[in-house]
Amino acid sequence: MGMYSEYSDSELIELLKSGDRFAFTEIYNRYWSVLYAQVYKMLRDEDEAKDVIQEIFSKLWINASAIKSNHNLGGLLYTAARNKVLNSIEKSRVRHDYAKSIAAFVSETDPDTIDKLDEKRLSKIIEREIQSLPPKMREIFELSRKENLSHKEIAEKLNLSDQTVKKQVQNALKIIRPRIEQIGFSLAILIILR
């Protein structure tokens, strides 16, 4: 096993692709602790973090033959970890600290190793946040953002004052904006929630 520790990541990938279990063990030992630290930072739960890491490495072994030889192994594993947590955010109403700590994860990871998030995924997360707004606020916000009605048009439609409409839109943004920004999408939010 000693010689495996001297192999580069790309050499280990080549061996892994041919079904070399020692190469897999070396990758596991090389990346487990750094990945665990990052995932734990997102989930704040030891067991959940370990489950995520276990799944990432299981998939790495199962899908080894599909990995490109020149792939950045660290980037591949970091991206898998981040996507796994984002999937959790999309599928369930997750504890607030999930989202809160993703920003730290993204900012501390080399941007070159992180592929850009799919806009569809971002829209889905934002849509879930909109759906969680109080009913009246949500209705006003959707008329403003989805139907592009002015505050005056919304006020007339719902028999409210312009000021009430303006306040409700501002309040909706105050709720949604920090949540999305905490996930590390401050640029995208300028476009989607402008």
pLDDT higher at 192 or 161 = 161
Residue 77 shares a structural domain with residue 12: yes
CATH number, position 89: 1.10.1740.10
Distance CA 37, CA 126 (A): 27
Q: Tell me: the pLDDT tens digits for 120-148?
A: 566 677 778 888 889 999 999 888 877 77
Q: Tell me: the pLDDT tens digits for 138-179?
A: 999 888 877 778 888 999 999 999 999 999 988 888 887 776
Mean pLDDT across the stretch 42-60? Answer: 85
Question: At 80, phi and psi to the nearest 5?
Answer: -60, -40
pLDDT higher at 45 or 153 = 153
With bands split at pLDDT 50, 70 and 90, how would you rate the model's confidence at 113?
very low
The answer on pLDDT for 97 being more than 50 is no
Of the residues 115, 132, 158, which one is the last residue of a structural domain?
Answer: 115
Q: What pLDDT score was predicted for residue 32?
A: 92
The answer on pLDDT for 116 being more than 90 is no
* Type and span of the H or E element at 57: helix 46-62
Residue 179 lies in domain: 118-194
Q: What pLDDT score was predicted for residue 58?
A: 92
Q: Tell me: the pLDDT tens digits for 66-85?
A: 888 777 888 889 888 888 87
Minimum mean pLDDT among 20-34, 36-50, 130-144: which range? 36-50
pLDDT higher at 1 or 126 = 126
Residue 105 shares a structural domain with residue 135: no
Q: What pLDDT score was predicted for residue 111?
A: 45
Residue 53 shares a structural domain with residue 137: no
Mean pLDDT across the stretch 60-65? Answer: 90
- The DSSP line for 79-126 is HHHHHHHHHHHHHS---HHHHHHHHHHHHHS-GGGSPPPPHHHHHHHH
The answer on pLDDT for 33 being more than 60 is yes
Of the residues 81, 115, 149, which one is the last residue of a structural domain?
Answer: 115
The answer on pLDDT for 86 being more than 70 is yes
Residue 126 shares a structural domain with residue 79: no
Q: What pLDDT score was predicted for residue 25?
A: 93
pLDDT higher at 71 or 5 = 5
- Tally of domains within the chain: 2
CATH number, position 152: 1.10.10.10
